[in-house]
Amino acid sequence: MTSIVHIAIPCPLRQGFDYLSDLPSTAWSKGIRVKVPFGSRQVIGIVLNSHDNLDKQPISKLKVIIEKLDEQPLITVELFNLIQWVSHYYHHPIGECFQAALPKKLRQGESAELLTETIWKITSLKKEDNLGIKQQKIIDLLVQNASGLNQQQITQQLGQSRSSLISLENKQKVVQQQQIKLPSTTQILSTACQLNDEQQCAVDTVWSQRSSFSAHLLQGITGSGKTEVYIHLTQQMLADNKQVLILIPEIGLTTQFVERFRQRLAARIVVLNSSISAGERKQSWLLAKEGLADVVIGTRSAVFTSLKKVGLIIIDEEHDSSYKQQDGLRYHARNIALVRAKRLSIPIVLGSATPSLESLYHVQQGRYKLLTLNKRATGASLPKVKMVDTAGPTANSGITSELYQAIQTQIAAGNQVLLFINRRGFAPVLMCHECNWQATCSHCDARMIVHHRRHILMCHHCGFIQRLPQQCPQCKTTDLNTYGAGTEQIEQTLQGYFPDTPVLRIDRDSTQRVNAFADVVKYIQQGGAKILVGTQMLAKGHDFHNVTLVGVIDADQGLFSADFRATEVLAQLITQVTGRAGRGKKAGKVLIQTSQPQHQLWQDLIGKGYSYTAKKLLQQRQEISLPPAGSLCMIRAEDKQQQLAIQFLTEVLAIFNQHNQQQVMVMGPVPAIMEKRAGRYRAQLLLSSPQRKPIHQLLDQYIDVISRLKLARKVRWSIDIDPLDLM
């Protein structure tokens, strides 16, 4: 044996593992994948480092590497270092961080070779005579596409053509070649529009700083032309032979967004979202790594794409919470993207109509530059917003008479109406009139939600499903009532009011498949549905030109939440929703139903707008050192036995208390607000500090001690740095 190789293994242990190899250490560059024995399994690991000095440690106990999977490191040095930073910052085991960064097929050990395909190419550009009509057409097509076309592309244009191609091949007019399978590019591009002054200024500012790190917050209301700015910047980067990484939220709007890029750029664009197959994902990832994909558009995990010559990172809807992973490695893609841009010395653009308080704070501190787009690019005016008191006359299912009449007017005028209610299902409560029994989940501290259409009760926290009871399980009466309304009920009520008008419900239940959502969006744009009822899924990014009225059915949920971010999220949601109205030529109107029309948040938001409101919320956070002004870390634990989670966290607290110099405030442990979920009792310990550093120092110092606690191997526990969800 000639070297010892230190390897990251996908397992919860916070360390690398040593293995023996009969190759010299020079064969083991970091970032190479290996297959190794681990316990009773064989796993795929990543080389961290290696050395030849076998005398330094006893090697008799070390196991031998089974297989070397890559000749060249799959993980480039840049990505390798980034993942190490991620592991350190999020205090997460290095092996699991590599897991999170790699496409499934690659982390399972599949070859890192790019897929190839057969293409047809002409042998000479000389003019041909004496050919059959079909053969002549093929030659003409291949002359136009001198770099070759695959069978499918030829068939698409000329119909069945295989036999003619074979004849041409026999005449040595065309040849078949193997070539790396590349993403297709659009042949006919749509023309670019002339940027307005604000857009041009944004593009120029970023462009002028392209050779060093700079962060830009592009704030512009929906429809102000942010996407257009991204497209122009991307175009310029491509002309400069650079790649562009674009992150988008994890919702159904990918298709529309990607389509716009495809129609405008003669570029190889790859998409990394949940709708693509594992094979495609691997191919796209590798293409990006080799510099063969020009633009990568993807959701959260695309931040880990290997990129050979990236020149710019763009994050659209940067405030969106889907950038934060909520289990396993609890990273925030925006945070990682910023670190990555900094290390690469390239600019990053964060775009939003409703920037996060985090990003606004960085602007305030001078770390990001603010670029604003104040006008709607198409000249459409912003809608009028009005609060409607739900204490007033109400028609049914919580729709006030005022909202009802407004819907009626717009429908009569042939327009579309968009209604928001942030609750799926028919009703959130099923209750017995006689004995007050309520349907609750047996696995969670939560109510079961009534889903009428499927005749079930469903828990939205663990997915538990029961048949809809016909009688009270406690007192056997049949006097069961629902309270409150969800999308399904609103849909039904409105269909009752407007029997001749097509009503469409859009939520996670109605659009299970990823592409179903794209179909729905198209259907709406074509005017197929007049009344649209949906969850916040519908609030983002879509361009529905005929929508003239937006109604928010219940805006109160965020006003009284225990979560300190609830008001920020509500302000963002309402602003986004408002942006859906009047995007076309017709003016729009927004009605927001609330029981608290006088609430300060409404006064601020409706009277003074999002920026003012956000500034005020930020000030409140700063006064009490909450993020983004302060730093938080949540340590969570859960177990089937009620006391164990708390007990574990109590031991963690005791460890912290030994040395903590009160720079970090430790709160708890306390049971989570919803203590029981999916059959497990949950508890949490919150670390808070006006600065980031002391929290990390505390964790660095004690994480190993904590990991070695007996209970640490019994309960499920996790560390959440910069948690978004405190509930």
Count residues near Zn ion (CB under 5 A). 14
Q: Please say whether the beta carbons of 252 and 521 come within 8 A.
A: yes
Q: Which stretch binds ligand ADP (CB under 6 A): 137-145, 191-199, 402-410, 484-492?
A: 191-199
C-alpha torsion 614→352→249→110, nearest 10: -120
Looking at the Cβ atoms of 54 and 193, the one nearer to ligand ADP is 193
Residue number with CB closer to ligand ADP (578 or 647): 578
Considering the complex, state which of residue 89 and residue 464 has its C-beta at the smaller distance from Zn ion: 464
DSSP state of 195: P
Among 125, 192, 475, 587, binds Zn ion (CB under 5 A): 475
Q: For Zn ion, which stretch binds (CB under 5 A), given 252-260, 352-360, 453-461, 485-493?
A: 453-461
Task: Please report how close the Cβ of residue 466 comes to Zn ion at its closest, in angstroms.
Answer: 10
Least Cα distance to 510 among 528, 534, 490 occurs for: 534
Nearer to ligand ADP, 482 or 572 (CB): 572
**Position 273 contacts ligand ADP (CB under 6 A):** no
Query: Alpha carbon 145 to chain centroid distance?
Result: 37
C-alpha to C-alpha distance for 56 and 18, rounded to whole angstroms: 13
Nearer to Zn ion, 474 or 515 (CB): 474
Question: Is residue 175 a contact point for Zn ion (CB under 5 A)?
Answer: no
**Please, what is the minimum distance in Å from the beta carbon of residue 252 to ligand ADP?**
16
**Short-list 307, 281, 325, CA closest to 96:** 325
Task: Name which of 495 and 525 has its Cβ closer to ligand ADP.
Answer: 525
Q: Which stretch binds ligand ADP (CB under 6 A): 48-56, 146-154, 226-234, 680-688?
A: 226-234
Task: Decide whether 312 or 480 has the Cβ nearer to Zn ion.
Answer: 480
Going along 491-558, which residue ranges are E strands? 503-506, 531-534, 547-552
29, 186, 196, 205: residue in contact with ligand ADP (rule CB under 6 A)? 196
Binding mask 455-474 for Zn ion (x = CB under 5 A): ----x-xx-x-------x-x
Show the binding pattern over residues 440-469: x = contacts ligand ADP (CB under 6 A), - = does not.
------------------------------
Q: Which does 100 bind (CB under 5 to 8 A by kind): ligand ADP, Zn ion, none?
A: none
**Whole-angstrom Cα distance, residue 22 to residue 67?**
11
The torsion angles phi and psi of 432, rounded to 5 degrees, stand at -90, 130
CA atoms of 320 and 334, how far apart (whole Å): 10
Contact between 224 and ligand ADP per CB under 6 A? yes
For the segment 406-435, give every residue that binds Zn ion (CB under 5 A): 432, 434-435
| Binder of ligand ADP out of 16, 73, 225, 628 (CB under 6 A) | 225
Among residues 14, 443, 545, 716, which is the contact residue for Zn ion, using CB under 5 A? Answer: 443
226 vs 676 by CB, closer to ligand ADP: 226
Picked from ligand ADP, Zn ion, none, the partner binding residue 399 (CB below 5 to 8 A depending on kind) is none
Cα dihedral angle (355, 357, 361, 367), rounded to 10 degrees?
Answer: -40
Check residue 441 for interaction with Zn ion (CB under 5 A).
yes
3-class secondary structure for 388-453? EECCCCEEECCEEHHHHHHHHHHHHCCCEEEEECCCCCCECEEEECCCCCECECCCCCCECEEECC
**Shortest distance, position 674 Cβ to Zn ion, whole Å:** 9
572 lies in the binding site for ligand ADP (CB under 6 A): no
Residue given tokens 């191919």 in the structure block: 283
- Contact stretch for ligand ADP (CB under 6 A) within 221-229, 555-563, 682-690, 707-715: 221-229
Choose the contact partner of 459 out of ligand ADP, Zn ion, none; CB within 5 to 8 A by kind: Zn ion
Nearest 5°: phi and psi at 19? Answer: -135, 160
Shortest separation between residue 247's beta carbon and ligand ADP, angstroms: 14
Which one of 69-77, 218-226, 454-462, 499-507 is the stretch in contact with ligand ADP (CB under 6 A)? 218-226
Is residue 444 a contact point for Zn ion (CB under 5 A)? yes
Report yes or no: 355 and 371 within 8 Å, Cβ to Cβ: no
CB atoms within 10 A of CB 686: 18
Q: Which amino acid is at 491?
A: E
Residue in 226, 262, 621, 682 binding ligand ADP, rule: CB under 6 A: 226
Work out which of 203, 377, 458, 686 binds ligand ADP, going by CB under 6 A: 377
**Minimal distance in Å, beta carbon 278 to ligand ADP?**
31
What is the helix, strand, coil percentage profile of the chain, to 5? 35, 25, 40
Binds 377: which of Zn ion, ligand ADP, none (CB < 5-8 Å by kind): ligand ADP
Give the C-alpha separation, 234 to 219, whole Å: 18
Out of Zn ion, ligand ADP, none, which partner does residue 721 contact, by CB within 5 to 8 A per kind?
none
Binding-site partner at residue 195 among Zn ion, ligand ADP, none, CB < 5 to 8 Å by type: ligand ADP
Q: Using the structure block, give the residue that is written with the tokens 């396993």.
A: 328
Choose from ligand ADP, Zn ion, none: what does 134 bind? Cβ within 5-8 Å by kind. Answer: none
Q: Is 415 in the site for ligand ADP (CB under 6 A)?
A: no
Please give the Cα distance from 363 to 371 (Å, whole number).
10
Token pair, residue 201, equals 């200024």
- # chain residues binding ligand ADP, by CB under 6 A: 15
Residue 193 binds: one of ligand ADP, Zn ion, none (C-beta under 5 to 8 A by kind): ligand ADP
Residue 226's binding partner among Zn ion, ligand ADP, none (Cβ under 5 to 8 angstroms by kind) is: ligand ADP
Question: For the chain, how far is it from start to end, CA to CA, in angstroms?
Answer: 53
- 628 preceded by cis ω (within 30°)? yes
Q: Kindly list the distances between the CA atom of residue 702 and the CA atoms of 90, 139, 196, 595, 716, in Å, as whole numbers in the listed order.
A: 14, 70, 54, 48, 18
- How many alpha carbons fall within 13 Å on the CB side of residue 515? 3
- Give the residue with the Cβ less far from ligand ADP, 225 or 723: 225
Nearer to Zn ion, 171 or 476 (CB): 476
Indicate whether 449 belongs to the interface with Zn ion (CB under 5 A): no
Cis amide prior to 93 (ω within 30 degrees):
no
The Cβ of residue 590 has, within 10 Å, a number of other Cβ atoms equal to 24
222 SS3 class: coil
* Alpha helices (runs of H) in 90-161, residue ranges in sequence order: 94-101, 104-107, 133-144, 151-158
Q: How far is CA 359 from the centre of its chain?
A: 17
Query: In the complex with ligand ADP, which residue's Cβ is closer, 227 or 335?
Result: 227
Taking Cα atoms as reference points, which of 401, 425, 387 lies closest to residue 552?
A: 387
Distance CA 491, CA 505 (A): 6
What are the backbone angles phi and psi of residue 206, rounded to the nearest 5°? -65, -45
Segment contacting ligand ADP (CB under 6 A): 86-94, 216-224, 396-404, 469-477?
216-224
- Paired with 324 in beta bridges are 332
Which residues would be at the binding site for ligand ADP (CB under 6 A)? 193-196, 199, 220, 222-228, 377-378
Which residues would be at the binding site for Zn ion (CB under 5 A)? 432, 434-435, 437, 441, 443-444, 459, 461-462, 464, 472, 474-475
